[in-house]
Amino acid sequence: MFSTTYDVIVVGAGHAGSEAAASAANMGASTLLITMNLQNIAQMSCNPAMGGIAKGQIVREIDAMGGYSGIVTDKTAIQFKMLNKSKGPAMWSPRAQSDRMRFAEEWRLMLEQTSNLDFYQDMVSGLIIENDRIKGVRTSLGLEVYAKTVILTNGTFLNGLIHIGEKQFGGGRAGERAATGITEDLINHGFDAGRMKTGTPPRVDGRSLDYTKMTEQPGDEQPEKFSYSPVTKPLSRQRSCHMSYTSPEVHELLKEGFDRSPMFNGRIKSIGPRYCPSIEDKINRFADKDRHQLFVEPEGWDTVEVYVNGFSTSLPEDVQYRALRSVAGFENVKFFRPGYAIEYDYFPPTQLKHTLETKLIEGLFFAGQINGTTGYEEAAAQGLMAGINAALKCQEKDPFTLQRNEAYIGVLIDDLITKGTEEPYRMFTSRAEYRTLLRQDNADLRLTPRSYEIGLATEERMRRMEDKQKKSNAFVQFFKDTSVTPEEINPILEDLKSSPMKQSDKMFKIFSRPKVTLGHMRKLEAVESFITNESLDTEVLEQTEIQVKYSGYIAKEKNNADKLNKLENIIIPDNFDYNKLKSLSFEAREKLKNIKPKTLSQASRISGVSPSDISVMLVYMGR
């Protein structure tokens, strides 16, 4: 059945695996997606939502490059919110509640309609490696399948161990077995491995909740969407979420189970996500707080299953149940399933190149939680990049990477490769030093041309992006070229309590004032006429307003990025002998020898490498 050699084999069909399979196949690589259960493709193992702070930017970047996550999210969303809208546009982050069952179904349907992609259900239990090069995989049924490249996207399944109170059992997700064999294979070939932990809250029956005791959390009045593609539309109707709170009584009930908690009795030894702690961790770490928010999220349009966001726990199920019944609105709650924690194997990502290919085994790529990340969006981004680079490797083309000033995806991968991680890595806007450049509104302008060059983004995507850019630039130029008289603008400025104009001036200058928005400028007949005559849509209007209002900040940040990018052009040879540089600190020398950075810019971001160490290298390299 598998007599031919594939270009790419993708192991695992979570968010990383699904994007990896899609990108590799769409670039023309013959691709096989192997997973333990084809019914669980792109399963939302934790909360039924996509996007959020910085994560929403990543989903838009994936979409801008031709990935599927944005389209699938739009097609299966039940609510949409643009977070941080009260702050500057660098902080705006789209987030959507999804219909869990339809999300997985839509992903599978899209993958099945993707050319060059085959499917097989089996567990990969080992790798075929010859002379430090990947040759294929072995399955639990004894099959050997050969390929030029292999992408491992195993999620939480590698030797997964589930904890509920004092009970523990093997599994990669509730109701699914763990994957075995791969970790041992990799360790035998010289890889370092570690353990991480994540958790999930109970799922409950929405019919047993009293929503009148909770605060309603509706979606945006004018919802937007993730994908830049016209195949999706904004939601015309939405489902609300709700919010409740824990209390001192709830905390006391939870503490009764601490002696049986795997987190506190030593059963769980690995590190969990710092920014998504369990409820027992929260009341232990933040003992001064007498309540914590709980977000009550519906799992879909029609199902009654509800996700209790903020109540992640591995306490015994009887403790979970008693405590949750003391939360307002949950007095008569019925469980669908209890929360649990899961420990799994990961491989410190400093063992990877920026392409996500491993340094030790040629043609072997890692993507997703195997690299120590947490979150659907971070996993999907890595899958996209691994799929692209695996396909390019098979086609004997140059690798494709993104810089920190080009994309949050670039920040994510660079952080992993240069700094590593000892706890589940989650993306935040604060991790990106160029976040004014990396906004959610301009992901297509940043990345669609780059993706089009390598053959992933379609020509139709490219033409739409160029049209948006052309119209936006023309509108900005209109404001720079067109004057406005005091008689026209002063009534608007007076309403805003902004200083009146004494003589005519360019609209750009007025529009740049802090209180003046595009809505105010549209009260001017010339502006509204331009919008109508040029048929400008919402995306173009938003892009133009940001370009005018934040032009100074954008130019300054771009200038800073260009300066630092000069270090990006100074390549460090593969055989560079750091032992020759006696002036390097011992820590820097060891880190540089271990990570083997490709450029001086990358070297400068490694923890333990100081500016003086970079100066030493600059002098040595004749710069």
Which has more confidence, 348 or 268?
A: 348
Cα distance between residue 587 and residue 592, in whole Å:
9
Give yes or no for residue 504 having a pLDDT over 90: yes
Give yes or no for residue 24 having a pLDDT over 80: yes
Cα distance between residue 230 and residue 157, in whole Å:
36
pLDDT per position as a tens digit, 135-146: 999 999 999 999
Give yes or no for residue 565 having a pLDDT over 80: no
pLDDT at 619: 86
Beta strands in 277-316 (DSSP E): 293-298, 305-309
Kindly state the percentage of the chain with pLDDT values over 90.
83
CA distances in angstroms from 623 to 566, 567, 619, listed in the order given: 11, 10, 6
pLDDT at 505: 94
Banded model confidence at residue 225, pLDDT cuts 50, 70, 90:
very high
CB 461 within 8 A of CB 228: yes
pLDDT per position as a tens digit, 318-349: 999 999 999 999 999 999 999 999 999 999 99
CB atoms within 10 A of CB 574: 7
Cα distance between residue 347 and residue 370, in whole Å:
6
pTM here is 0.93
Angle formed by the axes of helices 55-64 and 408-419, nearest 10°: 110
Beta strands in 39-76 (DSSP E): 49-51
Task: Provide the token pair at 255.
Answer: 């503490």
Residue type, 489: I
Cα distance between residue 22 and residue 28, in whole Å:
10
Q: What is the mean pLDDT of residues 216-223?
A: 97
pLDDT at 623: 59
CB 329 within 8 A of CB 363: no
Give yes or no for residue 53 having a pLDDT over 90: yes
Of 146, 148, 147, 173, nearest to 162 by C-alpha is 173
What is the full DSSP assignment across 506-518?
A: EHHHHHTSTT--H
pLDDT per position as a tens digit, 469-497: 999 999 999 999 999 999 999 999 999 99
pLDDT at 285: 87
pLDDT at 274: 81
Can you say whether residue 311 is alpha, beta or left, with left for phi > 0 and alpha for psi between -120 and 50 degrees? alpha
CB 11 within 8 A of CB 153: yes
pLDDT at 272: 85
Residue environment code for 215-247, b if the CB has 16+ CB neighbours within 10 A, otherwise e: eeeebbeebbbbbbbeebeebeebbbbbbbbbb
Give yes or no for residue 440 having a pLDDT over 90: yes
